[in-house]
Amino acid sequence: MFESLVGNILILGIGIFLFIKGFDALKKKRLIEDIPTSTVRGLAMGMVELIGKAKKKAILHSPIMNWDCVFFQYKIERYEKHGKSSHWRTIMQGNSGLMPFYLEDATGKVLVLPQGAQTILPEDFKYETHSFSDIPKNLESFMSKNAISYKSIFGFKHRLRFREWIIQENDPVYVLGCAKKSTHFQKELEKQTKEILAKLDKDPALKSKLDFNKDGHISQEELQLAEKKINKALLKKAMKASQTGDVFDVIIGKGKESKVFIISNHSQKSLVKKLHLTCVAQIIGGILLATLGFGLLISNLRIFELFDKM
């Protein structure tokens, strides 16, 4: 009787959760419909919607299939059975959220930091193993590298599911996020300056150019002056790039006030349709489950009352 009561509460809780998630999807759908699409050159600080092509900041390799990409996300699940119930349990997942990429449109390009984004992407890879099937060598190698067990203590292979999503260079990309001043830009300037200064001993021409008093040595004062000059030259170069439309001191990411941050390679129209179907399914499903859970809970509580009276 007690287990039945817990099950009823669980059904009610899942129903309420789905109902809330449905309204969250509805909110995002309406935001996408209402917010005007900006160009890179014309973007303002705050919530923006951009549509363009993904461009590399650095080429990444997806961990499972080793595909070249600008963004990846993966998940590995194991099928588990406990008594009469069974489910897929996530045993490893990750993404390249800390690695930025560029969004480029006809007016320029801007850096996007995917960390914390809701990614709505089609599945690029899915593979499911079975107890007696052979596991492909690349998947076996990946599991060995990451210390993932694919056999039980009796030697039987676990049933596993591998999934991977990627954005490749030149893929269409939709971003709804917060445009803000980039601390990354200043760090990048400092990094490039240090890289140039590190070449002093290997580049006599550069050393001679920065030896302002021509005594054959780079003093601490000359080094500091050189650092300022190099930094200024790099900044000038970045500003020149911005005249072509490239935004050098802004990054698109997750905002503090708005938690909405979406990255997708679906079209805006397709994205709205997906969110519409999601919110309808979750709201209706949530109402039905919550109603069922509440009804069963009331019914069980009445049975408890009858037992107390006996």
- Whether 46 has a pLDDT exceeding 70, the answer reads yes
pLDDT of residue 27: 82
Query: Largest alpha-carbon pair distance within the chain?
Result: 105
Asked if residue 196 and residue 174 are part of one domain, the reply reads no
Tens of pLDDT, residues 137-151 = 888 788 888 877 766
Tens of pLDDT, residues 105-128 = 999 899 999 999 999 999 999 998
The span from the CA of 300 to the CA of 292, in Å, is 12
Q: Which residues contact 206 (CB under 8 A, 6 or more apart)?
A: 196, 199, 200
Residue ending a domain, choose from 202, 224, 248: 248
pLDDT of residue 82: 75
pLDDT of residue 44: 86
pLDDT above 70 covers a percentage of the chain that reads: 80
How would you label 199-219 residue by residue, b for 16+ Cβ within 10 Å and e otherwise? eeeeeeebbeebbeeeeeebe
pLDDT of residue 244: 47
Res. 280 pLDDT band, cuts 50 70 90: confident
The span from the CA of 36 to the CA of 224, in Å, is 46
pLDDT of residue 243: 44
The span from the CA of 57 to the CA of 246, in Å, is 13
Asked if residue 107 and residue 187 are part of one domain, the reply reads no
Which one has a higher pLDDT value, 235 or 220? 220
Asked if residue 209 and residue 176 are part of one domain, the reply reads no
Whether 251 contacts 113, CB under 8 Å: yes
- Whether 199 has a pLDDT exceeding 80, the answer reads no
Asked if residue 30 and residue 121 are part of one domain, the reply reads yes
Asked if residue 168 and residue 111 are part of one domain, the reply reads yes
Across 53-67, 129-143, 216-230, 232-246, least confident range: 232-246
Which one has a higher pLDDT value, 202 or 306? 202
Residue ending a domain, choose from 203, 227, 248: 248
For residue 124 the two structure tokens come to 């690029």
- How many structural domains compose the chain? 2
Res. 163 pLDDT band, cuts 50 70 90: very high
- Whether 98 has a pLDDT exceeding 70, the answer reads yes
pLDDT of residue 95: 92
- Whether 307 has a pLDDT exceeding 60, the answer reads no
Can you give the pTM of this predicted structure?
Answer: 0.69
Asked if residue 242 and residue 166 are part of one domain, the reply reads no
What is the pLDDT averaged over residues 190-214? 72
pLDDT of residue 9: 77
Asked if residue 263 and residue 154 are part of one domain, the reply reads yes
- Whether 1 has a pLDDT exceeding 80, the answer reads no
Which one has a higher pLDDT value, 25 or 201? 25
What is the pLDDT averaged over residues 213-237? 71
Which one has a higher pLDDT value, 31 or 116? 116
The span from the CA of 291 to the CA of 284, in Å, is 11
112: left (phi over 0), alpha (psi -120 to 50) or beta: beta
Residue ending a domain, choose from 230, 248, 266: 248
Asked if residue 173 and residue 191 are part of one domain, the reply reads no
Asked if residue 256 and residue 194 are part of one domain, the reply reads no
Top mean pLDDT of 65-69, 195-199, 247-251, 258-262 is at: 65-69
Mean pLDDT rounded to a whole number for the chain:
80
Domain carrying residue 188: 183-248
Asked if residue 256 and residue 221 are part of one domain, the reply reads no
Res. 309 pLDDT band, cuts 50 70 90: low
Tens of pLDDT, residues 233-270 = 766 665 554 444 566 678 899 887 777 899 999 888 88
What is the pLDDT averaged over residues 279-298? 83
Asked if residue 31 and residue 49 are part of one domain, the reply reads yes
Asked if residue 257 and residue 198 are part of one domain, the reply reads no
